[in-house]
Each structure stands twice: as structure tokens, then as C-alpha cells.
Structure 1
Amino acid sequence: MYKTGILNSEISKVLSDLGHTDRIVIADCGLPIPKGVRKIDLALSFGVPSFESVYELVLEHMAVQKMIFAEEIKSDNPELLKKVNQSDVEKEYISHEKFKEMTRNTVAIIRTGEATPFANVILESDVLF
């Protein structure tokens, strides 16, 4: 049995298969999932699991070179913005409409139970060397 790391086999597999510049999404429970994009649904109830708990765990196990957020997080979810700004990873802010379009070209979307506005991020994979 897996001793450390992420126990969810689907997330573990996705992270293991990522190449440089591949992208995944960590999403709140309301973000639409485009047809053809792998959905890893962790949502159990509103708030469970939280965006923050999944985000922190994935960052612990993934080399990330860039994070992409919807511009609207700045006005509609400043508490979450403050938390994600603690990371020194490059950040980009785009419209929520463009964000939803970009999710079509991601490897997977990890759906959380988060129920606060614009609690979504696209994580772009870095290399380890």
C-alpha cells in the first residue's frame, strides 16, 4: 500500500503522468467540466473537501511553474486570493470566461466541494531539473 503522498489513485496517476507545461485544474463545485476532459470528483458536500485543502496537497506533490486564476477572484474572493498569494509561483489573471475556455485544454479537473466564488486555479506543470 502507498505509504506517503496522495492516496487518491486518480490524482496520483494524473500527477505522475504530467509533462512540462501540462495543465490541471482544481475547481470549486460549480465550475462547468468540458466534455472530454477527465473529471476527478472529490465533492462530498458543500465545502467538503475545501479548495484550499486540495490545493495545498497538490502543490506539495506537483512542480508548478504558473498558476492561472479568474480576474474576478480579486473582488469576489479576497480571502482566498490572500492565501494563494502566499506562494511565490508566477500568477496570471484572466477573465472567468477565458478561464472556462482554457479548461478545455487541460489534462484533468479535480472538483472539490468548495462553494465560494471563483475558487478555481489552472496549475501549469514545471520540470524538476
Structure 2
Amino acid sequence: MQKGGILNSHIAKVLADLGHTDTICIGDCGLPVPEGVQKIDVALTFGVPSFADVLRLVTKHMRVEAIHIGEPMEAENPVNYAIVDELFPVNRFDRRITSHEEFKEATRHCKCIIRTGEATPYSNIILQADCIFAPER
């Protein structure tokens, strides 16, 4: 039994299995999950757990080299966009910003989508794994 870290065994397993450039998605409770992509549902009720809570926890345990977000996030959800900016400064991480439709298409290639209880629009991000033995960003 783990003493700490990520206690959700499905999330812990996905993170342990990631290789360099593999992707996972953290999404709000409305993001569709494509056929064939593993859904890890941690949603309990609207807002619980929040996008920010899950993103902060996952990034403590995942080495990230790049992110992908939908273009509407900045204007439609400035609170969560600010959290993304805080965790992934533009000068240190590659950042891909596309239409929401292109973002949803990109989720087809993710190892999993972690569904949060977040109920605010465009609270979705794809995280691309970095090489764990490369220099820290």
C-alpha cells in the first residue's frame, strides 16, 4: 500500500506507464471521451474535484515537456487559464493552442482522459510527457 502520492490506482498506473512524448488529458465533466481512449472518472459532483486540483496533483508526479489547450480557454475561462500559465510558463514549456474541435480530435491519441468534476467551460488540457532523465525545465 502506498503511503502517499497519487492514491488513485488508475492514475498512478497510467503515469508509471508513460513514455517520452506520450500524452494524457485532464478534462472538465463535459469533455467527450473518444471511443477506445481510457476514461479515469474522478468526478464526484459539479466542481469536485476541480480541474485545478487534479492538474496540480498530476503535475507534481508527471514530468511534462509540452501542453495543448483549446483557444477558447483564455477568453472563456481566465481563472483556469491563469493556473495553466502559472504551472507551464510560456518561456519554459512548449505550448500548442488550437480550436476546441482540434483539441477534441487530439484527445483520440491520449493514453487516458482524467474526467474531473469541473463545470466551467474549456477546462481541458493535454499534457505531453518529458524524458524523466533529461535536464529539468
TM range (shorter): over 0.9
Aligned equivalent of 2:124: 120
The 2-side partners of 1:118 and 1:106 are apart by: 17
Residue ranges of structure 2 left out of the alignment (5+ in a row): none
TM-aligned CA deviation for residue 83 of structure 1? 1.4
- Deviation string 1:24-64 (CA, Å, 9 cap, x unpaired) is 00000000000100000001100001000000000000000
Equivalent of residue 94 in structure 2, options 90, 94, 97: 90
Distance 2:106 2:94 in 1: 17
State the percentage of identical aligned residues. Answer: 54
RMSD, aligned CA: 0.7
Equivalent residue, structure 1, for 2:57: 57
CA distance in structure 2 between the aligned counterparts of 1:114 and 1:106, rounded to whole angstroms: 19
- In the comparison of the two structures, how many residue pairs are matched? 129
Partner of 1:27 in structure 2?
27
Residues 1:108 and 2:112 are matched in the alignment: yes
1:65 Cα offset (Å): 0.3
Where do 4+ consecutive residues of structure 1 move more than 6 Å? none
Counterpart Cα distance in 2 of 1:79 and 1:90: 21
CA shift digits 1:58-114 (9 cap, x unpaired): 000000000100000011001111111012332221100000000011100000000
- Tell me the residue number matched to 2:41: 41
TM-score (norm 1): 0.97
Counterpart of 2:37, as a letter, is V
C-alpha separation in 1, matches of 2:80 and 2:123 = 7
- 3-state SS of 2:65 partner: strand
| 1:84 aligned partner, one-letter code | V
The one-letter code of the counterpart of 2:79 is E
